[in-house]
Chain A
Amino acid sequence: MKRYAGWTLALPATLLVVVFLVIPVLATIWTTFTTPAGPFATYTAFFGSGFRRTVLMRTIQISLATTAIAVVIGFLTAYVVSRSPGWLKSILIVAAVFPLLTGVVVRSFAWLIILGKNGILNSTLLNLGLIGEPMAMLYTPGAVIVAMVYLFVPLMILTLVGVLESIPDDLIQASASLGAKPVATFMQVTLPLAVPGLIVGAVLVFTGSFTSYATPQLLGGEQVMMMGTLMYQQAMVTFDWVAASTIAAVMVVITIAIVLVMTRLARRLNPMAV
């Protein structure tokens, strides 16, 4: 009995994941290889369609842009937060956690109010006389990127505050006492030590953007269709489940490949793990 205690305890959760995730997801991917037209027909159709290729490329571009902006903003902000005095740090962390715990629909809706044709940004710019007529900001890649950066910056800040705080203070002081200027210390000590955390954060942002649904749906619409919105449309509007499954398979492969490659890279680049 004791020999199997571990398995007995872990089995129910294991069954949940296997029965409701592994098997259904593998079954979805399996159906893309078993169409009457042949094992790779759905993929030839996917990559052969100019429209779907455009959606894939657009999704990658928007996700990369979101990740790049979130990494830069998140890192600089986390740097300041981690060096703030205790009370201020608590306030700033609360200000970052609050949006994070607020759902994606609410947060995308906020940008709908701001960027809409009669939205706050347009009416402000009109009142200031900077523009003559309302600009079309919604349903552009820019709107999707702004809202996604908004979604993911708190995650980046929190991840990096943790990383930056775990850098031993002795190292910074040693660098300074050996004569390094603050900028040199930052570039040669702080930044390299933060690289693994930056990679982990970037992976979270990229995969989150790459597979998102609500934000591109609300702020991008038909014009800025991304992989997630295309998959939903194929599955629930045109009821082409084979095409939707193909998109699902492509999303799974790209997501898992990025996670595996980047976490390996993060481990290799970790200067503390020598």
Chain B
Amino acid sequence: MMTRSIHPLLIAGTVLVFIFLVGPLVIVVGSALSDTSYLTFPPQGLSLRWFENIFAIDAFRRTILTSLQTAVLATVIALILGIPAAYALNRHRIQLPGWLSTLFVLPVLVPELVLGFSLLKNVAVQLEAPIYLALLFGHALLVLPYVVRVISASLASFDFSIEEAAISLGSPPLKTFFTILLPNVRSGVIAAFILAFITSINDVSISIFLTGPGLSTLPIQLLAHMEQFFDPTVASVSVLLMGLTVAVMAIVERTLGLTFLAK
């Protein structure tokens, strides 16, 4: 494969691109470890005190919990609604109108800011629904396309005749779902969960409208903190979030292989 030569300039350019991709994140890690009270790189002296500071600040403790809770609940809602929908789109396509699969892509097409604002205006304010409900369903919508797409992809290689065999042998539909179908798309479910979780945890554009005094998510709190203070706490929270990314990538690698993400 490598026998086809690549121009050295192209290789040099690629090296620069990857320095550009990884460098800024290395700088964030370095800044987080500094023992100075201002942001600097390379760190003057090493210290973990900015990590302790995260948990000393009440707002960060609270928003970390809110973000984790919202990401898990939104992902579970999207899975519970999205798996049957993806199944129907594959198994009962003829019964369903063509626009239905487009409908499930809408959350990607409609700008997130517009969705967040519309949920605030027409659900939280107009219907006087609790703002957390709007936030939660906003996130569930945001991640639904990932669930439907990933599950559809794993159903595409599923042999439905196995399922029919189980049903014709007398297995009830729900039992067939849990014992035949679900185990066969397990890696798809894990992938969908991970992508959805990480998307929700990092979301700014929907959450920015659906948070306020008393309710906030971690990225929104980070933005607010950054506008007032420019200290290494933000860097250390960023490192925590990168740690989460590493964990996610490790799980993806073990279950599906990372090349999955390039598909």
Contacts and interface: CB of A to CB of B under 8 A. Distances in A.
Interface of A: 3-10, 12-14, 16-18, 20-25, 27-28, 73, 76-77, 79-81, 83-85, 90, 92-107, 109-114, 116, 118, 120, 150, 153-154, 158, 161-162, 172, 182, 207, 210-214, 217-218, 228, 231-232, 235-236, 241, 244-245, 248, 251-252, 255-256, 259
Contacts of B230: 112, 116
Given A79-B10, A110-B24, A110-B25, A10 B85 contact: yes
Interface residues of B, number: 89
Name, among A13, A79, A92, the residue most crowded by chain B CB atoms within 10 Å (CB to CB): A13
Given A6-B96, A103-B201, A113-B41, A150 B2 contact: no
Contacts, number: 268
14 contacts: A6-B91, A27-B122, A90-B258, A93-B258, A98-B245, A99-B25, A101-B245, A109-B222, A110-B28, A113-B28, A228-B111, A232-B208, A255-B109, A256-B110
B198 interface: yes
A23 B95 contact: no
A116 B155 CA distance: 49
Q: Which of A24, A73, A83, A85 has the most CB of B within 10 A?
A: A24
The 9 closest A-B pairs by CB, nearest first: A6-B92, A103-B202, A110-B24, A211-B111, A13-B85, A6-B95, A24-B118, A9-B88, A9-B84
B95 A103 contact: no
B204 A13 contact: no
A16 B137 contact: yes
B132 interface: no
A16 B140 contact: yes
A176 to B, nearest CB: 8
Given A17-B144, A96-B21, A106 B117 contact: no
B20 interface: yes
Contact of B100 (A14, A23, A27, A104): A14
B122 A120 contact: no
A261 B104 CA distance: 20
B249 A21 contact: no
Which label, helix, strand, loop or mixed, suits the secondary structure of the A interface? helix
B21 A13 contact: no
A252 B106 CA distance: 11
Interface string B74-113: 0001001110110111011111100010011011011111
B242 interface: yes
A119 B118 CA distance: 38
Contact of A248 (B100, B109, B114): B114
A109 B100 contact: no
Q: Which of A28, A90, A212 has most B Cβ within 10 Å?
A: A28
Contact of A236 (B209, B219, B238, B258): B209
Contact of A103 (B110, B148, B241): B241
